[in-house]
Structure 1
Amino acid sequence: MTKLLLSLHVLAAVLAVGPVTVAASMFPKTLRRAHSGAPEDSEALAGLRTLHRICRVYAGIGVAVPVFGFATASSLDVLGSGWLITSIVLTTAAAAILGLLILPAQDNALTAAQTPGAAPGTGPVVHSAARLAMLTGVFNLLWATVTVLMIVRPGSTTGA
């Protein structure tokens, strides 16, 4: 049962977190392109909508990652391990950044990008693109750290 739970946990992480990290990382550059005043603005706006939808949908699917993770940790009897507790804290931080900062900022940026009248390449859209790039970088760094902790498991007694 442990191998099944671990397999589901890893698959959920790859299939849910991977698309969010890629789509969220692409959003700021696409936002800048959508607001550049270039002829491909409509394509960039469509891209923004798609990237935001990917982030929202896969963030919801990503709830499976900690669910399978807790089941796996319980099965392995490692719920009290420091590396796991650290991973849980970092995962919670990543989820909070995504749900409370990135997704709402994407909503606002998408609305602003679709509002005609702002001068291209200036204003709140450019500022929000820079902020989104920074938030996404922190989000990705947290997930990379969790991944390393899951592989290395410092102090683990599970044989890593």
Structure 2
Amino acid sequence: MTAFLLSVHVLAAIVAIGPVSVAASMFPPAARRALAAPDDSRAVGTVRLLLRICRVYAVVGVVVPVFGLATAKNMGVLGDTWLIVSMALTALAALLLVAFVLPRQTAIAESLEQRSTEDGGGGPGDVAVAAAPAVTREATVRLAMLTGVFNLLWAVVTVLMIVRPGSTTGV
């Protein structure tokens, strides 16, 4: 049973966390490209697609800690320090994703969509539209940093899961 649980846990991590990490990392540069080409509907579509990937796989990613806990319980390692640290870092990564990365991605995507639907008729609204790119560019830089921290947390968790300090696996 442990082998099955561990297999599902690892596969879920690869299938769910991998796409979130990649799509979240691709989002800021894609948003900057969409900013640079406001008339390019494909660029805005790419941003929307990356946001959707992040949202869907973030929900699917809930399976990872569920099967991880079941595996740890089966292996009798729930109280091990490496696992507790891994769980804390996983919770921190999830919090970062849900509280900061996804909301900022959503705000940027909505801003780009509004910008792409503006008619640019030369009215007073043009000042606000012209000011939006600077704010959005800055937001993409902050988002890229948050995404980097998110990915770094997952990298540390992955290393802890493989090395398992204090284990007797000989690694």
TM-score by length of 2: 0.88
Residue in 2 that maps onto 1:35:
35
Q: Is the 8 A contact 1:37 1:121 kept in 2?
A: no
**Unaligned regions of 5+ residues in structure 1, if any?**
none
- Please provide the CA RMSD for this pair: 1.5
Q: d(CA) in 2 for partners of 1:19 and 1:76?
A: 28
Residue in 2 that maps onto 1:137:
148
Residue in 2 that maps onto 1:24:
24
Residue in 2 that maps onto 1:74:
73
Q: d(CA) in 2 for partners of 1:132 and 1:45?
A: 17
1:92-120 CA distance string (max 9 Å, x none): 00000001100000110011112225338
Report the count of equivalent residues: 159
- State the structure with more CA Rg: 2
Question: Aligned AA for 1:86?
Answer: V
1:103-152 CA distance string (max 9 Å, x none): 00011001111222533894211011001100000000000000000000
Residue in 1 that maps onto 2:90:
91
Question: Aligned AA for 1:23?
Answer: A
Q: Is the 8 A contact 1:20 1:58 kept in 2?
A: yes
Partner SS for 1:134: helix
Residue in 1 that maps onto 2:12:
12
1:33-58 CA distance string (max 9 Å, x none): 0010365x211100011000000000
**Unaligned regions of 5+ residues in structure 2, if any?**
116-125
Runs of 4+ with deviation above 6 angstroms: none
